[in-house]
Structures are given as structure tokens and as C-alpha cells.
Amino acid sequence: MRILYLHVPMAWLAMGGYVGLAIGSALALVWRHPLADLACRELSPVGAAVTALCLATGSLWGRPMWGTWWVWDARLTSVLVLFFLWLGHAALVRAFDDAERGARMGAILALIGAVNLPVVKFSVDWWNTLHQPASLTRLNAPALHVDILYPLLVCALGFSLAFAAVVLARTRAAVMERRVRALQMAAARRAEAEPRP
């Protein structure tokens, strides 16, 4: 039962993080903002790690509930596709020598992959699956008792803050790395331009 406090926040972050990736990618494609490209580049490994944790904890949760580690259930399969989208974005933005081209290709993949998000969210409603339906977003009342609900919401908030902190730290480090690289290149150009005795 305790795995619920890790699995559910990881699932929320996997989907919410991908929404952030899609929004950042749209900003990068439309306004060509370099910080949006950089943030998306640093977001994708963190999102992939969170989605991997979601799949692993879901498997640990599913073993005693369903009697197997994995089923090709609509929810599980669509989250696995989401994991591959995260990995694909992380690999694609780093695959090109031209960082701008890699960022553009990654942004296109992220926007196309956003089609998978409604499938992840509504798959248990659209198809008869083993995965339980939503417990918190029901119209009448959450299906969870307050003794489970409140700690779950606290865990979700804590993991969300940790996720944001890691992404911001990675983005800040990447900005600093770019600045250092630009200063080194400027110094190298100055050294080449100076007349030699």
C-alpha cells in the first residue's frame, strides 16, 4: 500500500512534466526562445526518470493485485509509450552537432507525442482495463479515505517541488555552461586576433 505514495505522484509528474515539455516546445518553435529549448533539453531526462519510476512502482503494485508484473493494459502501454517519448526527446535533442536543429526536431517530437497524453489519462475510461479508474478526480467525491488522501497530496506536492528544483538546477547549470563556453570562445578569438611578436 505504501508504494501508492510514490507511484501516484510519479504518474502525475510524468504526465504533467510532458505537458510542460510540450508547452516549452511550442514556445521554442513559435518564438524561438533559446531558454525554452534549453529548459526542454534539461527537462526530458528528469521526465524519463520519473516515468521509469512510475512504471517500476506500478509493476511492484500490480504484482500482488493482478498476479503478474506486467500486462499489456491500455494504461500501462500508453505510459510505456510516454516513457519512450521522453527517452526519444532526450536522445534527439543531443543527436545533432547543430544544437538548434536538434532542439527543433525534439520540439516537433514533443508536440506530436502530446497526442498520447489523453490516451494515458482516459484509457481506463475508454477501454475495459485492469488498471483502476481515477480515484481523486471523480465528480462526486474522491474514492480515497482522508487518511490516505492527505498524505498522498503531501507526497505529490513534495515530489512536484523536488521535480521542479531538479529541472531548474539542471537548466541553470546548462545556462552557466553556455556562458562559460561563450566566454572561452571569445577569449580564443581575441587571442587569435592579437598580433604575434
pTM over 0.85: yes
DSSP states along 90-128:
HHHTTS-SSHHHHHHHHHHHHHHHTTHHHHHHHHHHHS-
| pLDDT, one tens digit for every residue, the chain (197 residues) | 688 889 999 999 999 999 999 999 999 999 988 899 999 999 999 999 999 999 999 889 888 888 888 888 888 899 999 999 999 999 999 999 888 899 999 999 999 999 999 998 887 767 777 666 665 554 455 566 777 788 888 999 999 999 999 999 999 999 999 999 989 998 888 888 877 66
Which are the contacts of 172, defined by CB distance < 8 A and separation ≥ 6? none
What is the phi/psi pair of residue 157, to 5°? -65, -45
The percent helix, strand, coil of the chain (3-state, each to 5) is: 80, 0, 20
Whole-angstrom distance, CA of residue 188 vs CA of residue 193: 9
